């Protein structure tokens, strides 16, 4: 049986000047623009035909604070599709509390890199299907990596960054993806800092490098400008799911339009 490809909208949530949760959209993890209310947007995406929904608290790790669990509860009350929540998850207790708030999966980046045993512990305690390892990848053109690809005639590798892309780690994305899979991660969430918000298409070399290295399902993220880009990341990189934000948030495309395009081009999707 052919597995359908998943289309996943994502909201990046931060606190506004009044301390209230709000959705923001940016470019290259910067220049954030207010986009809407997280609960209202969740409700709309639940009704739109999305396969899953991702809620990322984009400053929890950098600010050293807890995830907005009250908002997670409100979002979970509005949707009936799988919900993945990320941001500020550092311990198995954080995982438990996030799942208890209504998440079906947790997305972990900085916390897993700081403590790789968290992947093993989380998978053992809650099941691999709940553990999504997220990587915020950035291209590097030096000789410090483990796995290299050709991009526009140059050889590069991809570095894992943390704290919303603010800090490099020296860790090769492909090596970390392989390790995370061995430790029990049920899914890999691949973000490209270079492509984020550009609408120039997903980072195909990055996504393909991860997909080729692991058997674990891979969610491609960052750079989507339309259904053609989703087709490309499915066909050329082998992604299992495509995540997008701004093209949905600002009404450039509906999830139905994207799925109909993919279906017309032979990509199996849930209509």
Which residues touch 259 (CB under 8 Å, ≥6 apart)? Answer: 7, 49, 269, 270, 271
Instruction: Establish whether 74 is a catalytic residue.
Output: no
The beta strand positions in 91-238, using DSSP E, are 105-108, 131-140, 149-151, 154-162, 167-172, 187-192, 218-221
Q: Catalytic one among 51, 57, 74, 136?
A: 136
Helices 92-100/117-126 angle, 10° precision: 40
φ/ψ (deg, to 5) at 164: 65, 35
The SS3 of residue 244 is strand
Instruction: Establish whether 12 is a catalytic residue.
Output: yes
Q: Catalytic one among 12, 51, 57, 229?
A: 12
The pair of three-digit structure tokens given for residue 199, joined into one six-digit string: 């609408």
Residue 160 near residue 134, CB atoms below 8 Å? no
3-state SS, one letter per residue, for 173-206 = HHHHHHHHHHHCCCEEEEEECCCCCCCCCCCHHH
The pair of three-digit structure tokens given for residue 266, joined into one six-digit string: 């032979």
Active site residues: 12, 136
């Amino acid at each position: 049986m052919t597995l359908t490809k998943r289309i996943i909208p994502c909201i990046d949530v931060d606190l506004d000047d009044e301390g209230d949760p709000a959705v923001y959209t940016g470019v290259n993890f910067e220049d954030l623009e207010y986009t809407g209310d997280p609960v209202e947007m969740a409700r709309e995406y639940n009704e739109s035909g999305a396969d899953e929904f991702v809620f990322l608290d984009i400053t929890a790790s950098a600010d050293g604070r807890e995830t907005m669990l009250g908002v997670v509860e409100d979002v979970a009350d509005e949707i009936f599709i799988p919900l993945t929540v990320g941001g500020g998850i550092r311990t198995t207790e954080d995982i438990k509390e996030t799942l208890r708030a209504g998440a079906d999966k947790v997305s972990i980046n900085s916390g897993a890199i700081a403590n790789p045993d968290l992947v093993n512990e989380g998978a053992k305690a809650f099941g691999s299907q709940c553990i999504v390892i997220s990587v915020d990848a950035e291209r590097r053109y030096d000789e410090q990596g483990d796995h290299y690809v050709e991009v526009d005639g140059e050889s590069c590798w991809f570095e894992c960054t943390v704290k919303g892309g603010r800090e490099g780690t020296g860790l090769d994305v492909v090596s970390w993806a392989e390790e995370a899979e061995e430790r029990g991660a049920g899914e890999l969430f691949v973000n490209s800092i270079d492509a984020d918000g550009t609408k120039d298409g997903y980072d195909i070399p990055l996504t393909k490098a991860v997909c080729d290295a692991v058997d674990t399902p891979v969610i491609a993220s960052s750079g989507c400008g339309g259904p053609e880009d989703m087709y490309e990341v499915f066909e050329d990189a082998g992604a299992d799911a495509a995540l997008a934000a701004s093209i949905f948030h600002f009404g450039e495309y509906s999830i139905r339009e994207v799925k109909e395009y993919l279906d017309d081009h032979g990509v199996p999707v849930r209509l």
